[in-house]
Chain A
Amino acid sequence: MSGAEKIAVTVTDIVPLNDLVTRFEFKRTDGGLLPTFSGGAHTVVEMRDTSNGGDITRMNPYSLMSDPMDQSAYTISVRRDDEGRGGSLFMHNNVKVGDQMVVSNPVNLFSLDLLAKKHLFLAGGIGITPFLAQIKQLERFNGNWELHYACRNAALGSYVDELTDHYPNATHVYYDDNDQRIDLVNLLDGQPLGTHIYVCGPKGMIDWVRKTAAGEGWPRESIHYEEFLAPQSGKPFEVKLAVSNIVIQVGEQESLLEAIERAGVDAPYLCRGGACGQCETQVIDYTGNFIHRDHWLDDAEHASGDKIMPCVSRFEGKVLVLDR
């Protein structure tokens, strides 16, 4: 079976934080302890949706925000995406306390570099969640960190109160609606040698931070970022899986990876968000256009037509044959 090892859990708490974000707590259904993790790790939550007579399983990655050493429960915060394919809406509308669900063992693609002398966190909106776990991890050994958190306004600022209450000197909050912006060049100027930047938020914010820091002479190795992509819906298309020797249809609302899994083919994956590279698949033949959306392949690989990341990327055209 592909992906990280799975854990049967029960939903033990659901807390709406504001108009968009709700927090979910999971405990092991068998009453045992959950694995510890490291700050920045995510879990892939399986959402089996049998509403309206259907049977769709979505698997979305969410950053773990609880204390990495707390083995009694995992918590995640889910931002409702009304335009998305329905994973976050399912969590918000269908999941109830007491429901049994399946989550994956934690996987970390956004870990702290513990050689850093200082950790500079830059969060945009729901991108705050991995930092909540990283802060708890660093607080255990007096780590040197500082958070700059941009969100729309006070009403939508998830965990702003908790952060400013516990860490008033390390937390800096910026509200878009009040025209408050992170003064990045000034912030980067004068940071002590050995500072590492971590940025999690919308793509524009990640690109801005990476570009600005590189321009100021920061080494690439000192800049860490995470952006999960949700698969986007698109036109249905047909794919031949050469190894399995079957032809499958990818529906409008499902990803290529989900369609492959629905056909019973065990395809590798880990993050399901275009970041980790596990699901990289060789293209044997194609006539049409790829819609590449991942962060894994580089521009030349995207242009080559040799590879696709089925977790987030799609295809439009007549023929697509994959080595799977």
Chain B
Amino acid sequence: MSKFTFPESIRSRPVYGTLEPRAGAAHLLIADAHGAEAILDVATPDMMAKAHIIYIPKGEPFEDKLRALKPAQFYSGPTYAAAEQRIHKAFADAKMGLQLYLSGTEGVIGQAQHAAMQAGIPHTAIQTEHRGSTARRMQCVHCKGITEDVDVDPFQCAHCGLHLFVRDHYSRRLAAYQGVCIDAEDPGNVPPSKGIYE
């Protein structure tokens, strides 16, 4: 099951929609893992004739299906970091009228959205659809280190080792949720971790 309904939360928490085809001079689609399924749902032959798909499979078996859509350009890379140069180049070359579609995990959607905002696309003009893992990209508010793919709460910062409470407070600038020390008042009193949405 690649779709998940997130519980209602504070205003800071990103809300994802369902991709829909829009008129445009060019289409840039960036996805990871099960995000490919959202591209397969939204793709039309007209769109694909002007499309550039950047895909990070993370071991999921969708690459052949995406290639079969016959996009004008297709790239597959192992991580967001590996794809980042190509993503920045795609934005640098893009003209107004570009339509941007982001799908997959929150970490990849958030980082691609941040790159798009830097390139001048208003964040409200970017279509996003969440698919697959509900793990989060977390920033430790204490050491500022980023821990990717966090799916339990509390979790231990991969950089400074503090035990962090997973907040819904999100930063578009950092493309990360905020993790705050859970035992600051009473060191050592760390509740057992459980799934973020359990």
Interface residues of chain A, those whose CB is within 8 Å of chain B, are 115-117, 188-195, 215-222
Question: Would you call B59 an interface residue if the criterion is a C-beta within 8 Å of the partner chain's C-beta atoms?
Answer: no
Residues of B within 8 Å of A116, CB to CB, are 120
B120 touches A219 (CB 8 A): no
Closest to B98 in A: A193
A220 touches B121 (CB 8 A): no
B119 touches A219 (CB 8 A): no
Residues of B within 8 Å of A217, CB to CB, are 22-25, 96-99
Main secondary structure of the interface of A (DSSP, over half): loop
A220 touches B95 (CB 8 A): no
Question: Would you call B5 an interface residue if the criterion is a C-beta within 8 Å of the partner chain's C-beta atoms?
Answer: no
Residues of B within 8 Å of A219, CB to CB, are 121-122, 124-125
Query: Which among A188, A194, A220 is the interface contact of B97 at CB below 8 angstroms?
Result: A188
Name the distance in Å between A138's Cβ and chain B's nearest Cβ.
16
Q: Which 5 A-B pairs have the closest CB atoms?
A: A194-B120, A217-B24, A219-B125, A221-B122, A217-B97
Query: Which among A191, A215, A221, A222 is the interface contact of B95 at CB below 8 angstroms?
Result: A191
B125 touches A188 (CB 8 A): no
List B residues 114-155 near A (Cβ within 8 Å).
119-122, 124-125
Given contacts A216-B23, A219-B124, 8 further A-B contacts (CB under 8 A): A189-B95, A189-B97, A192-B95, A216-B25, A217-B25, A219-B121, A221-B125, A222-B125
A294 to B125 alpha-carbon distance, docked (Å): 26
List B residues 54-99 near A (Cβ within 8 Å).
91, 94-99
Residues of B within 8 Å of A216, CB to CB, are 23-25, 96-97
Main secondary structure of the interface of B (DSSP, over half): loop
Name the distance in Å between A320's Cβ and chain B's nearest Cβ.
38
Please report the number of residue pairs spanning A and B whose Cβ atoms sit closer than 8 angstroms: 56
A116 to B125 alpha-carbon distance, docked (Å): 14
A220 to B124 alpha-carbon distance, docked (Å): 9
Residues of B within 8 Å of A220, CB to CB, are 125
B91 touches A193 (CB 8 A): yes
A117 to B98 alpha-carbon distance, docked (Å): 15
A218-B122 contact given A189-B25, A193-B91, CB 8 Å threshold: no
A221 to B97 alpha-carbon distance, docked (Å): 13
Query: Which among A115, A192, A215 is the interface contact of B96 at CB below 8 angstroms?
Result: A192
B96 touches A191 (CB 8 A): yes
Closest to A214 in B: B23
A193-B25 contact given A115-B120, A221-B125, CB 8 Å threshold: no
Name the distance in Å between B26's Cβ and chain A's nearest Cβ.
8
* Sample (10) of A-B pairs whose CB atoms are under 8 Å apart: A189-B97, A192-B95, A193-B91, A193-B94, A193-B95, A193-B119, A193-B121, A195-B120, A216-B24, A217-B25
Closest to B123 in A: A221
Residues of A within 8 Å of B122, CB to CB, are 115, 219, 221-222
Name the distance in Å between B48's Cβ and chain A's nearest Cβ.
16
Residues of A within 8 Å of B97, CB to CB, are 188-189, 216-218
Name the distance in Å between B31's Cβ and chain A's nearest Cβ.
20
Closest to A120 in B: B96
A222 to B122 alpha-carbon distance, docked (Å): 8
Residues of A within 8 Å of B98, CB to CB, are 193, 217
Interface string of B7-33 (1 = CB under 8 A from A): 000000000000000111100000000
A221 to B98 alpha-carbon distance, docked (Å): 14
Name the distance in Å between A130's Cβ and chain B's nearest Cβ.
21
Closest to A192 in B: B95
Name the distance in Å between B71's Cβ and chain A's nearest Cβ.
17
Name the distance in Å between B126's Cβ and chain A's nearest Cβ.
9
B125 touches A195 (CB 8 A): no
B125 touches A215 (CB 8 A): no
A194 touches B121 (CB 8 A): yes
Closest to A219 in B: B125
Closest to A113 in B: B122
